Amino acid sequence: MLEDFEIVAGVEVHAELATKTKIFCGCTTEFGGEQNTHVCPVCLGLPGVLPVLNRQVVEYAIKTGLALNSEIAEFSKFDRKNYYYPDLPKNFQTSQYDLPICLGGHVEIEVDGVKKRIGITRVHMEEDAGKLVHSGATISTSDVSFVDYNRTGVPLLEIVSEPDLRSVDETVAYLEKLVQTLDYIEVSDCRMEQGSVRFDINVSLRPKGSDKLGIRTETKNLNSFGSVRRCMEYEIERQAEVLSEGGQVIQETRTWDEGRGITLSLRSKEEAHDYRYFPEPDLVPMVIEREWVERVRERLPELPDSRRERLLELGLSAYDAGVITSSKALAEFFDAALDKFKDPKTLANWVMGDFLGLLKAKGIPVQSSPVKPEGLAELLNLVENGTISGKIGKSVIGEMFESGKGAAEIVKEKGLVQISDTGALSGIIDKVVNSNPQSVTDFKAGKERAIGFLVGQVMKETKGQANPGLVNKLLKEKLETM
Amino acid sequence: MDLTQLTAHELSDLLASREAGAVELVKAFFARIDQVEEDVKAFNIFTRDRALEQASKVDDKLARGEELGPLEGIPMAFKDNMCTKGVPTTCSSKILKSFVPPYSATVVEQLAQAGSIMLGKLNMDEFAMGSSTENSAFAKTCNPWDLERVPGGSSGGAVASVSADEVAFALGSDTGGSIRQPAAFCGVVGLKPTYGYVSRFGLIAFASSLDQIGPLTKDVTDCALVMNAIAGHDPKDSTSAPVDKPDFTKSLINDVKGLRIGIPREYFGAGIDPEVDKVIRQAITKLEELGAVVEECSMPHTEYAMPTYYLIAPAECSSNLARYDGVSYGYRAPESGDIVSMFKKSRAEGFGPEVKRRIMLGTYALSSGYYDAYYLKALKVRTLIKQDFDQAFEKFDILLSPTAPTPAFKFGEKSANPLAMYLSDICTVPVNLAGIPAISIPCGFAGGLPVGLHLMGKAFDEGTLLRVSYTFEQNTEFHKVKPSLGVK
């Protein structure tokens, strides 16, 4: 049944901007904090207050527009979006309607090796609402509800895509790319678990080969790529079922019930709000000077695509390059380490293996890693020049995470320097050979594997400090003379 | 000598010469208030203790031999739509009856800085919507010239308090004439400054693109002094103009020779009271005698000003007043059950009929499908009205008209007919749409009631308005005539 239809999807992304203060007042945007402590008369919308636009918000919007290949408007303004909800202290949201700051643009995605360009319709600035805390499950089933206004007035960017997405994979790839870009240009913390990025998914189906758009539904407020995937899969199947039975999809706003894994109707088109948009009279329109845009463009950091391209040229696999460039912090870590340790492939193996593994185990982000890029490079140089073995290296990096000490310091303190001294090793080899006559016999009988056991014994005797290549060589020489 | 009858600058001279003290002034004004307030009902609340405390600090300064600023120690009051930290600010509405702002409006801070002493907060039409102060949820303020008549509105309490000598001056707000029309009705000087000249931060909004705070004073000199204290850029108000403010008292020049005054004929149309017309014509003759060059002119889009205003102002008000919902401050209807009923009941019970009428008008005008035909069209006509003024000011330095087509009317005379009430602002509304400054000064009497002369100027050219007003005042005696109130 699904194979008869083509999926048409578009996404609205709301991203909280990483400014220090709110969009229209000086309150902190810091997440958390005791309820209703990050507030002032302005963000509380008290009678008589007026908004003053935070310039940094406009700069971040410009930066985002440039990163998404949008046109930055020369003239832009704010509008009021009027609707009643108790988390909205003024009962209107100051947003942008017909003259958004960024128009057009696109993002490149790649799904199963196929590249595709996804269009951006617009990017606009707006303020976030507060947070409701209910005594029950929902506002209508609660005896009492409370409002926390800490988040009220936190700046948001709304990024609207064209209906260019044709599958769940494309949608998720687009969102990943978008979030990755916002992270690279450092306009948003992109902390999904804190709700700093939220997605509204518009999806409709049409018979394959048709160029008419089907009736769409919009599912609001998803906050992880996983939920987007599950929600879309459910919604596509639901719509396909309706259509296959000859029914009609109802144009409506839906909500995702994560627990039950289903979407539910929130309000129909008839019940849709009439937002009565009109120009915000308390703010003057913005004339965005081209010199400003150019200054922002000059300071724009390297974007994920070009960074990934650079890593591929260094000889990394597509997979490795993808993982390393998935976050700006990791990509920068890699580059900084590469500055001091010149083998990209070995570095990539260590970064993606032990380094990320330890970070994950400890639940710390790359930025706050106790092991800095120079530290990792120092360790890898010790391995490469044979001062320590790779195996010892793995224990040293663990120690570096624990103690915060440098690799050379740990190696020195613990006496982990690799034994590459032939004289020192031959005594141990003699001892091992003498106490394992069976292995010697096996080796002589042509069982090549027996040497592995003997090498292992030598490593054990030296607590892993012996140079394994050298041990192998010396052992072979010894056995051949026997 | 009755201290309360003096102007602010006269009182300031008395303080400077140590002939009077600040506490003495405050006591004198409260004595006057005790005498007449029962009849006038200008105030919503008094801040007597606070005022005495502040005044004694001024007296301390005097005792130390320090010099005072021009408004220091001068008793005054604010229209009750300007936020005063720790003092209830109600907009004369049930919905804000319990509201005590945690912050002060910029103008309140500025006057505190200047050392003026607040005696209380003044009655008004609810949320500044009205032309008679009959829309107050609390009391009907009476015109000190005739207690059977309205003081005008919406700054009715503010003008009545000045006219009845309960304060030396007051601050009002003007969205479509709310400073000037009552100033005319009560025989005081009222200036609506250029939009953006005085900060709106802390002024509880009615219509954001039209609202402007201005002085209500006993003479033109005081008007200039108050402007010196309150005009200027405020970083908290994005619509406040980034201009340097002049010393407005420099414009107090007794000379209008060669000044070109335009008389737009559309402001003298049907509905103008013949006696008012006569008084205004006499004022024009007076200005001509003083050397001004007067010529009639036309402002063709004037007739569209009222419909334009009654789309833009209600549209903005419908959004500005949406926040009064009972959630975190103000009136909340008891026993509402669910959130939607709480919104509906709180607003239904909290707002008066005129406020509801305008919220509904504005909501309608902004609704999807009507926006282009109403709100957008109104914005375009607003531009045409502005252009009328631009063209007129190519030829004239100022424009002149009556402030209101009639003198003060009786209670109830127009309250049943909103349209008739709206028309009392017909001469003042175009000024707000154009964002220009205008002043109303006493210029005579019609049937024993004051008549106001309305002078309109170029944006940020308050100076010329003050100069013409000052010249007229120096050569007439109208501003010295006091209502007989209280002199029983």
Amino acid at residue number A313: E
Q: Is B209 part of the contact surface with chain A (CB cutoff 8 Å)? A: yes
Q: Is B198 part of the contact surface with chain A (CB cutoff 8 Å)? A: no
Q: Is B235 part of the contact surface with chain A (CB cutoff 8 Å)? A: yes
Task: Give the span between the Cα atoms of B87 and B215, in whole angstroms.
Answer: 21
pTM: 0.89
- Chain A hits for B318, Cβ within 8 Å: 82, 276
- Chain B hits for A89, Cβ within 8 Å: 323, 327-328
Q: Select from A48, A274, A282 the Cβ nearest to the Cβ of B202.
A: A48
Q: Does residue B154 have a cis bond before it (omega within 30 degrees)?
A: yes
Q: Is A82 part of the contact surface with chain B (CB cutoff 8 Å)? A: yes
Q: Sign of dihedral through CA atoms A368, A370, A374, A377?
A: negative
* CA-based nearest residue to A419, from A464, A472, A476: A464
- Chain B hits for A55, Cβ within 8 Å: none
Q: Select from A47, A48, A282 the Cβ nearest to the Cβ of B238.
A: A282
Q: Is B327 part of the contact surface with chain A (CB cutoff 8 Å)? A: yes
Residue of A nearest to B363 (CA): A276
Task: Give the span between the Cα atoms of B354 and B359, in whole angstroms.
Answer: 9
- Chain A hits for B207, Cβ within 8 Å: 281
Domains and CATH numbers, chain A: 2-292 (no CATH), 302-413 (no CATH), 422-481 (1.10.10.410)
Q: Is A274 part of the contact surface with chain B (CB cutoff 8 Å)? A: yes
Contact A353, A347 (CB under 8 A): no
Q: Which two tokens stand for residue B11?
A: 């009182």
B486: pLDDT strictly greater than 70: no
Whole-number Cα distances in Å, B40 to B33, B74, B140, B141, B253:
9, 21, 8, 6, 35
The active-site residue out of B12, B41, B79, B346 is B79
B480 is catalytic: no
Q: Is B366 part of the contact surface with chain A (CB cutoff 8 Å)? A: yes
Residue of B nearest to A277 (CA): B366
B334: pLDDT strictly greater than 80: yes
Confidence of residue B424 (pLDDT cuts 50, 70, 90): confident
Mean pLDDT for all residues in chain B: 96
Q: Is B227 exposed, middle or buried (0-12, 13-18, 19+ CB in 10 A)?
A: buried
CB-based contacts of A377: which residues, under 8 Å, 6+ apart?
A: A337, A338, A339, A340, A341, A347
| Interface predicted TM-score (ipTM) of this complex, two decimals | 0.95
Q: Is A136 part of the contact surface with chain B (CB cutoff 8 Å)? A: no
The active-site residue out of B178, B199, B240, B318 is B178
> What's the full length of chain B, in residues?
488
Q: pLDDT tens digits, residue range B159-184?
A: 999 999 999 999 999 999 999 999 99
Quote the radius of gyration of chain A (alpha carbons, Å): 30
B286 is catalytic: no
A84 to chain B, minimum CA–CA distance in Å?
Answer: 8
Spell A314-336 as b/e; 16+ CB within 10 A means b: eebeeebbebbbbbbbbbbbbbe
Residue A129 DSSP one-character state: -
Q: pLDDT tens digits, residue range B282-323?
A: 999 999 999 999 999 999 999 999 999 999 999 999 999 999
- Chain B hits for A82, Cβ within 8 Å: 318-319, 322, 366
Q: How many CB pairs under 8 A join A and B?
A: 103
Q: Is A284 part of the contact surface with chain B (CB cutoff 8 Å)? A: yes
Contact A53, A153 (CB under 8 A): no
- Chain A hits for B323, Cβ within 8 Å: 45, 47, 89-91
Amino acid at residue number A259: G
Tell me if B323 and A147 make a contact (CB, 8 A cut-off): no
Task: Give the span between the Cα atoms of A228 and B45, in whole angstroms.
Answer: 57
Confidence of residue B419 (pLDDT cuts 50, 70, 90): confident
Task: Give the span between the Cα atoms of B400 and B471, in whole angstroms.
Answer: 15
Tell me if B319 and A52 make a contact (CB, 8 A cut-off): no
Q: Is A270 part of the contact surface with chain B (CB cutoff 8 Å)? A: no
Tell me if A51 and B238 make a contact (CB, 8 A cut-off): yes
Contact B157, B42 (CB under 8 A): yes
Confidence of residue B240 (pLDDT cuts 50, 70, 90): very high
Task: Give the span between the Cα atoms of A446 and A443, in whole angstroms.
Answer: 5
Q: Select from B205, B208, B328 the Cβ nearest to the Cβ of A89.
A: B328
Residue of B nearest to A93 (CA): B319
β-bridge pairing A252-257 and A217-222: parallel
Task: Give the span between the Cα atoms of A333 and A162, in whole angstroms.
Answer: 34
Q: Is A363 exposed, middle or buried (0-12, 13-18, 19+ CB in 10 A)?
A: exposed
Q: Select from B209, B339, B371 the Cβ nearest to the Cβ of A281.
A: B209
Residue of A nearest to B323 (CA): A90
Alpha carbon A293 to its chain centroid, in Å, reads 26
A20 to chain B, minimum CA–CA distance in Å?
Answer: 19
Contact B134, B415 (CB under 8 A): yes
* pLDDT for res B485: 80
User: Which phi and psi angles does A80 have, rounded to 5°?
Assistant: -100, 130
Q: Is B238 part of the contact surface with chain A (CB cutoff 8 Å)? A: yes
DSSP E strands in A210-288: the ranges are 217-222, 252-257, 262-268, 278-279, 286-287
Q: pLDDT tens digits, residue range B183-197?
A: 999 999 999 999 999
Q: What is the mean pLDDT of residues B50-68?
A: 97
B104 is catalytic: no
Q: Which two tokens stand for residue A314?
A: 């260094």
CB-based contacts of A139: which residues, under 8 Å, 6+ apart?
A: A86, A132, A145, B339
Which residue ranges of chain A lie beneath pLDDT 50? Answer: none
Contact A118, A165 (CB under 8 A): yes
Whole-number Cα distances in Å, B319 to B81, B199, B355, B372:
17, 20, 12, 17
B233 to chain A, minimum CA–CA distance in Å?
Answer: 13
Contact B225, B249 (CB under 8 A): yes
CB-based contacts of A458: which residues, under 8 Å, 6+ apart?
A: A425, A428, A429, A432, A466, A471, A475
Q: Sign of dihedral through CA atoms B345, B350, B356, B360?
A: negative
Give the other-Cβ count within 10 Å of A162's Cβ.
16
* pLDDT for res B488: 44
Q: pLDDT tens digits, residue range A76-133?
A: 999 999 999 999 999 999 999 999 999 999 999 999 989 999 999 999 999 999 999 9
* pLDDT for res A214: 94
Tell me if A52 and B236 make a contact (CB, 8 A cut-off): yes
B335: pLDDT strictly greater than 90: no
